[in-house]
Amino acid sequence: MTEALKLPISFENGFWPTTALVGNSRIPNSVRDGRNVWFLGAGLMKSAKGVALSGGQPTDARMYLVGSQIGSLATGSVVPYKNGSFWFIGSGSVFVGGFNVGTASSLLTYNTTTNPANARPAGLNQPGAPAVEQGTMGINSGSYAVVITRVNSVTGAESNGSLPSAPIVVTNKKIKVLFGGLDGGQDRWGIYFTFKGRATTGPFFFLKEITDASIPGDRRFEFEFYDSQLTSTQPPTDYNPPPQGDFVCTLGAHMIIIGSFPGNGANAGVSPSIANKPEAYPSLSTTFLNPYESVVGFTARPTDGQMMVWTKNSLQALVLTGASSFPILPRAVWPTTGIQSPHGACFADSILYGYSGKAGPVRLGGEEPDTSFAQPVYEFIRQENWDPATVVVGYDRERDAVIYMGNGVSGAWALPFMRSVNDGRNWSTPIQLPGTPQSCLTVEGQLKITIGGNLYNWEGGNGHDWYLTPAWQDAPEPSDRKTFRGFRASCNTASAALTLDLLLDFNETPVAGCTQTTSGSGNRQIAWKLTNKVCRQYTVKASATGADHQLYDIQTNIWYEPGLTDK
């Protein structure tokens, strides 16, 4: 007995190009092919807007959030610090908020303004031992020696103490100290004297700072003091200038140089500054990544007292210990799984998502990397042959989606993983990009992407040609013949024409005479397209041009006689 069935085609399981054609392993209510389409939950499909140019702000291949502004440079990193200063390591011109603030190198550099002429190398070198002479009449009598330090009043930096001066014996005299030239951003000098009679044994205690501008033209400055005026502070002995490195970041009160002290083919050193002293680096506080490799990239903002860094073959955490001797310690998270791209990972809330070699999309789901969530799209990525060293991963907070971006066989695409849809199992279709992505950043909830040196806003465009092809349908019985009698759709579209094409029996060519094209706007139900086609499998492809088209479902009308086969 023939039954007339109305069977819907919906999209609840999102983009699943690897779904089986038929059988129990086929993913129902999924889309096996499509482009420029979001799946937003509850079966709602919406055509994507794509990217739009963000404006005239210069950007480069590496991009970071510097306070509330965008910072970029060719390689390396840039971070904000106190008093509106910017600190950077790497290469290329450094831009913050559209301003060029300097040129990066392997030496840590800072700028407290947006004028590149004011960029200064961080750290102050130890001054040489000062010469001393008897001065004019004064209050000092006995033997003395002096140690001096360099001071930067803008950043608060101080150098290690100089070697002690030669002892000098005076009677009712001032002590005259000869000063050398300035270093880096120095503008002051720290003065440390011995008590009377301790010139050969020390120790040295802080007397005061003087400005370099107060020193006469002959570079000699006179001091007089009582022992009681000396404080208990002694000159620094471990305020070394920062080592060269590949990246700079901050964790807690520490500035950290990543990629310091190269050796054995890798730049694996991690060198923290003294707390609240970004230009002072104790020689014994450097630790090394284990596994011992050069860092490729890092999460630019710390989470729970640690910073995630990655090498080509490992994921490691830099942990804030609170100890003064080793304030930062590396810990292997994935000792054998790495991330090959500088912008190949990001946090979505508290979960790290990345892209790793042949494994493709991965996330931090315990001791081992979790790849199970990427099962629907793994084969698509493999066929596209994305280069792991250039994949960019970002977070679209508005849609709670992790965006995997790469350039492959068929072009540059963004592939969204929908974290909040269908219990975190859904993907949307690839969304078109205008070129190879270089970096990305989420600023106040807006994902921004660098492509070809230009800055783009994610989902700020006017849309592209889009289409979706649902999985093959064969209900109610796969092996039985059916008569396909018609189809229609429920939608909310703009004025652009929406086209529905009937496909039968694994043939991707639309059936002649079985196309429905409609235009209009607003919520509506498209009229039935009547057909009379015998088949076993069927589906209806939808396509249009532009953004914000919504397709809720497709209804089909099937005449079915149980047990009817070719035999």
Backbone angle region of 201, left / alpha / beta, with phi > 0 → left and psi within -120 to 50 → alpha: alpha
Which of 37, 33, 59, 62 minimizes the C-alpha distance to 50? Answer: 37
pLDDT at 56 over 80: no
Sequence-distant (≥ 6) Cβ neighbours of residue 387 within 8 angstroms: 406, 407
User: Cα-atom radius of gyration of the chain, to the nearest Å?
Assistant: 33
Q: How many CB atoms lie within 10 A of CB 363?
A: 20
pLDDT at site 118: 94
pLDDT recorded at residue 424: 84
Measured distance CA(290)–CA(131) in Å, rounded: 47
- Per-residue confidence (pLDDT) for residue 369, from 0 to 100: 93
Whether the predicted model's global pTM rises above the 0.85 cut: yes
Distance CA 77, CA 89 (A): 6
Provide the pLDDT for residue 1: 65
Peptide bond into 167 cis (omega under 30): no
Label the pairing between strands 287-288 and 360-364: unpaired
Mean pLDDT of the chain: 93
Site of tokens 């994610």 = 458
458: tokens are 């994610």
For the cut 90, the answer to whether the pLDDT of residue 541 exceeds it is yes
Q: In percent, how much of the chain has pLDDT > 90? A: 79
Q: Which of 337-341, 491-495, 562-566 has the lowest mean pLDDT?
A: 562-566
Q: What is the pLDDT of residues 97-139, one digit of tens each?
A: 989 999 999 999 999 999 999 999 999 999 999 999 999 999 9
What pLDDT sits at residue 493?
Answer: 78
Q: Would you call 15 helix, strand, or coil by DSSP?
A: strand
- Highest-confidence segment of 266-270, 519-523, 563-567: 266-270
- Residue 374, SS3? helix
Nearest-angstrom CA–CA distance, 559 and 496: 32
Which residues does 423 contact at the CB level (< 8 Å), separation at least 6? none
* Contact residues for 82 (Cβ-Cβ < 8 A; gap 6+): none
User: At which residue do the structure tokens 């603030």 appear?
Assistant: 101
Choice between 365 and 559, residue whose per-residue pLDDT is larger: 559
| Contact yes or no for 77/248 (Cβ under 8 A) | yes
**Phi (first) and psi of residue 380, to 5 degrees:** -60, -45
pLDDT for residue 567 is more than 60: no
- Which of 394, 318, 316, 310 has the alpha carbon at shortest distance from 357? 310
Give the pLDDT confidence of 292-344 residue by residue, as tens digits.
999 999 986 666 788 999 999 999 999 999 898 999 999 999 999 999 999 99
Round to whole Å and give the CA distance between 111 and 388: 34
pLDDT band at 563 (very low <50, low <70, confident <90, very high): confident
Residue 566 has pLDDT above 70, yes or no: no
Q: What is the pLDDT of residue 373?
A: 94
Q: How far apart are CA 108 and CA 412, in angstroms?
A: 35
- Measuring CA to CA, which residue among 10, 38, 26 is closest to residue 506? 26
Angle at 365 between CA 363 and CA 369, to 5 degrees: 60
What is the spatial distance between Cα 514 and Cα 71, in angstroms, rounded to a whole number?
53
pLDDT digits (tens, 9 = 90+) for 392-451: 999 999 999 999 999 999 999 999 999 999 888 899 999 999 999 999 999 999 999 999
Query: What 3-state DSSP class applies to 501?
Result: strand
Percentage of residues in the chain having pLDDT higher than 70:
98
Q: For residue 43, name the pLDDT band (cuts at 50, 70, 90).
A: confident
